[in-house]
Amino acid sequence: MAGGTKYIFLTGGVVSSVGKGVTAAALGRLLRERGFAVSIQKLDPYINVDPGTMSPYQHGEVYVLDDGAETDLDLGHYERFIDVSLSRVCNVTTGQIYSEVIGQERRGDFLGGTIQVIPHITNEIKQRIGLVPRETQAEIVLVEVGGTVGDIESLPFLEALRQMRADLGRENTLFIHVTWLPHIGATGELKTKPTQHSVRELRSIGIQPDVIVARSDHPVGEDLREKIGLFCDVEARAVIPLVTTNVLYEVPLMLEREGLGEFVLGRLGLEARHRPDWSEWERLVAAERTRRPTVRIALVGKYVELKDAYMSVREAVRHAALHAGVEAEILWLHSADLEKGKGWKELESADGVIVPGGFGSRGIEGKIAAARYSREHKVPYLGLCLGMQVMVIEFARHVLGSEDANSTEFDRSTPHPVIDLLPEQRGIGNMGGTMRLGLYPCRLVPDTRAARAYEEPEVQERHRHRFEFNNTYREILASHGLVYSGLSPDSRLVEIVELADHPYMLGSQFHPEFLSRPTRPHPLFVGLLQAAANRAKTKEAPRQVAVASPSVPS
């Protein structure tokens, strides 16, 4: 593109968790719809090298990319909205920046100089941002800074962005500040003061925003738009109200209606290459708003108190439900509760069961019990990574009759390690980045449920695990009815298992949820939702619910 790469920087003000990531993702879609190659990068101020080793309670889901990078869950929003596969360079943490600079210092690269935040840390940040257009060929790069303006940790990132505006010029950079307008119940008013303060904070470090996205739970009137514009020194048309919606995929349509796409292009000196075509997204949103019969999907996990820990699974269920013409009600069940005899009524009310990924032994017996219940009562079941391993353990214990079958992750000395490390993995001590990560091919075995679902001979799916199906048990488990419907091309690794004598019981060693897109639901999830819908239909008169379940952009 003539004039080089354009950069859009997104910062957050007032409070976190108001939808900065979704705003970035939706704006990316607006620009893609106008014909530009777009990429989105997240700068995370924490000191961990990546979120791979962080507890889901702290950080929500770890989202895995094609290239195996373990990233922030916002990258999941980005990919679902812009439908572009992102790269490892799209998630940068303070930990990565410092470990790189300190590594250079130890090698003597700085020739005795004093290493400082400015310029050494900020230079490294700028260099990481510059990698995005080089690696992804993006013409417009959106950069989201994690956290809220005023946090100590994000200061070096903001300083680097300030420098980039000075380096590249106003016509090549644009600042968007996403804030929150609190509502005062007593007077029924929306307040702009916190927004004014956070813009002042931003200005004190040398950044004047070009656009303010004003998030709110209530409609934002024209008067308020003008007031924010005046006090924060941006044009009134650059104040973009974004009212909370219960349909996540409506956000791009809302930003489009407010004119954000045209405003941004104008400020960057660009012209749309074609008119946006929103018909598919409009259909999607209309479908979400339509009454559909409910199916209940039990999600049996370990971090169910924090729904963000299963963000991509929840979205994949939603995409597949739309495709199957049903409304999915997710029952969040704690696997450790099932062990104590709690939650079984809910499990029994479910039309489908998902056991998602996970690590460590807590709650594992509850998951095995859920798999057993699904198999014996012919309830549709989808196992994701750990959920596949659980399905194999359950099968070995109760169909083959090897009571002590287990994964060596949970019982090192089990006499029947049906799930185990590969020989070459033994002896790896580090916890960070030592798993089978990212895309690997999976060949579908003809005439299986998986092959019929995919309608393709070979697929690529994203992985994140250490343990594998133990081939010692391949024959014996097959002779009892376990079907291997997906294998690595050399047939060494079992990628998908399923049961023939069951409406839908299938587990994948990979994480299909990372590749589900709103307009392209994942076939394995569609299979589950269809089977669950059939079960719901035959069980009783279909339950109806009102419109879509609430979802606030995170």
Taking CB under 6 A as the criterion, which residues in 229-268 touch ligand GLN?
Answer: none
Task: Say how many residues touch ligand GLN, by CB under 6 A.
Answer: 10
- Using the rule CB under 6 A, give the single segment among 98-106, 243-251, 256-264, 356-364 that binds ligand GLN: 356-364
Shortest separation between residue 300's beta carbon and ligand GLN, angstroms: 13
Q: Is 171 a catalytic residue?
A: no
With beta carbons less than 8 A apart as the criterion, state whether 110 and 57 touch: no
* Residue with smaller CB distance to ligand GLN, 105 or 411: 411
Of the pair 195, 407, the CB lying nearest ligand GLN is at: 407
Binding-site string for ligand GLN from residue 400 to residue 429, where x marks contact by CB under 6 A and - marks none: ---------x--------------------
Vertex 60: Cα angle to 55 and 62 (nearest 5): 80
383-to-283, 367, 462, 502, 546 alpha-carbon distances in Å: 30, 10, 15, 14, 29
DSSP secondary structure, 317-336, as one string: HHHHHHHHT-EEEEEEEEHH
Closest separation in Å from C-beta 358 to ligand GLN: 5
The nearest distance, CB 440 to ligand GLN, in angstroms, is 13
Tell the smallest beta-carbon distance from residue 335 to ligand GLN (Å): 13
Report the residue from 336, 359, 398, 537 that binds ligand GLN according to the rule CB under 6 A.
359
Q: Give the footprint of ligand GLN on residues 449-508 (CB under 6 A).
A: 464-467
- 358 forms part of the interface with ligand GLN (CB under 6 A): yes
Q: Are strands 63-64 and 70-71 parallel, antiparallel or unpaired?
A: antiparallel
Round to whole Å and give the CA distance between 205 and 122.
14
CA angle, corner 104, sides to 101 and 108, nearest 5?
135
Q: Which residue has the tokens 């299938």?
A: 506
Task: Give dist(CA 79, CA 216) in Å, integer.
Answer: 25
Q: Shortest Cβ distance from residue 435 to ligand GLN (Å)?
A: 6
Given the rule CB under 6 A, which of 354-362, 398-406, 451-459, 528-536 is the region that contacts ligand GLN? 354-362
Q: Could you tell me which residues come within 8 angstroms of residue 140 by beta carbon, excluding any fewer than 6 positions away?
A: 5, 6, 7, 8, 31, 36, 37, 38, 39, 268
Q: How far is the CB of 312 from ligand GLN (least distance, A)?
A: 12
Taking the complex as a whole, the smallest distance from the CB of residue 88 to ligand GLN amounts, in Å, to 18
Neighbouring residues of 197: CB distance < 8 A, sequence distance ≥ 6: 14
CA distance 223 to 226: 5
Our CB check for ligand GLN shows the closer of 460 and 544 to be: 460
- Catalytic one of 90, 232, 385, 442: 385
Which helix (DSSP H) or strand (DSSP E) does residue 298 occupy? strand 294-301
Whichever of 142 and 364 has its CB closer to ligand GLN, that residue is 364
Smallest distance, ligand GLN to C-beta of residue 298, A: 17
Position with the least CB separation from ligand GLN: 357
Q: Rg of the Cα trace of the chain?
A: 25
Annotate 334-394 with DSSP letters as a single string: EHHHHHTT-SHHHHHH-SEEEE----SSTTHHHHHHHHHHHHHTT--EEEETHHHHHHHHH
Nearest to 383 by CA among 548, 510, 503: 510
Of 48, 132, 137, 50, nearest to 90 (Cα)? 132
Decide whether 29 or 367 has the Cβ nearer to ligand GLN.
367
For ligand GLN, the closer CB: 235 or 308? 308
Residue 220 interacts with ligand GLN (CB under 6 A): yes or no: no
Residue 34 neighbours by CB distance under 10 Å: 20
Give the helix/strand (H/E) hosting 505: strand 505-508
Is residue 51 within the footprint of ligand GLN (CB under 6 A)? no
Q: Which is nearer to ligand GLN, 115 or 421 (CB)?
A: 421
Q: Which of 77, 120, 511, 522 is catalytic?
A: 511
In angstroms, the CA 166 to CA 339 distance is 59
Q: Judge whether 85 and 515 are in contact, CB under 8 Å.
A: no
Residue 367 makes contact with ligand GLN by CB under 6 A: no
CB of 95 to ligand GLN, least distance (A): 22
| Count of other CB atoms within 10 angstroms of residue 434 | 12
Q: Is 273 strand, coil or helix?
A: coil
Q: Quick check: is 90 catalytic?
A: no
Residue 357 near ligand GLN by CB under 6 A = yes
Closest CB to ligand GLN among residues 8, 73: 73
* Footprint on residues 382-401 left by ligand GLN (CB under 6 A): 385-386
| Catalytic residue chosen out of the listed positions 159, 329, 409, 513 | 513
* Whole-angstrom distance, CA of residue 410 vs CA of residue 408: 5
Which segment (98-106, 198-206, 353-361, 452-460) binds ligand GLN by CB under 6 A? 353-361
Q: Closer to ligand GLN at the Cβ: 128 or 465?
A: 465
Q: Hey, which residues are catalytic here? A: 385, 511, 513
Binding stretches for ligand GLN (CB under 6 A): 357-359, 385-386, 409, 464-467
